[in-house]
Amino acid sequence: EADIYQTPRYLVIGTGKKITLECSQTMGHDKMYWYQQDPGMELHLIHYSYGVNSTEKGDLSSESTVSRIRTEHFPLTLESARPSHTSQYLCASRRGQLTLHFGNGTRLTVT
């Protein structure tokens, strides 16, 4: 059972809109991650955080930004959504080098 929550579960939005994908975890994990997953493709790391006020870009270039003001919260923002942003976004967290816990994901469609 996941203790990491992502909202919304599905989002369909028009081009040019600003969106924020929410991610919260109740496990007190220090490290949090955002992955982008397209069907039949690997998960690509787009952002990660080691703790409060720490954010880093991942291996896949992304126009999104993240913030980590509180340990439990790691939102991802797209200032101006485009059809190329259509994908599934997965949030994950872990303590140290331990197992990564995933949320259910947000499936984003930009029309």
Partner 1 sequence: AQSVSQHNHHVILSEAASLELGCNYSYGGTVNLFWYVQYPGQHLQLLLKYFSGDPLVKGIKGFEAEFIKSKFSFNLRKPSVQWSDTAEYFCAVNADTDKLIFGTGTRLQVFP
| Residues at the site binding partner 1, with contacts judged by CB under 8 A | 2, 31, 33, 35, 40-43, 45, 48, 50, 58-59, 90, 92, 97, 99-100, 102-105
Indicate the residue among 81 and 103 with the shorter CB distance to partner 1.
103
Indicate the residue among 13 and 43 with the shorter CB distance to partner 1.
43
The secondary structure of 64-111 as a DSSP string is: -EE--SBTTB--EEESS--GGG-EEEEEEEESTTS--EE---EEEEE-
In the bound complex, what is the minimum distance in angstroms from residue 56's beta carbon to partner 1? 9
In the bound complex, what is the minimum distance in angstroms from residue 101's beta carbon to partner 1? 8
Indicate the residue among 13 and 100 with the shorter CB distance to partner 1.
100
DSSP-derived 3-state class of residue 24: strand
In the bound complex, what is the minimum distance in angstroms from residue 57's beta carbon to partner 1? 11
Residue with tokens 């200032």: 79
The secondary structure of 26-56 as a DSSP string is: SS--SEEEEEEE-TTS-EEEEEEEEETTEEE
Indicate the residue among 45 and 81 with the shorter CB distance to partner 1.
45
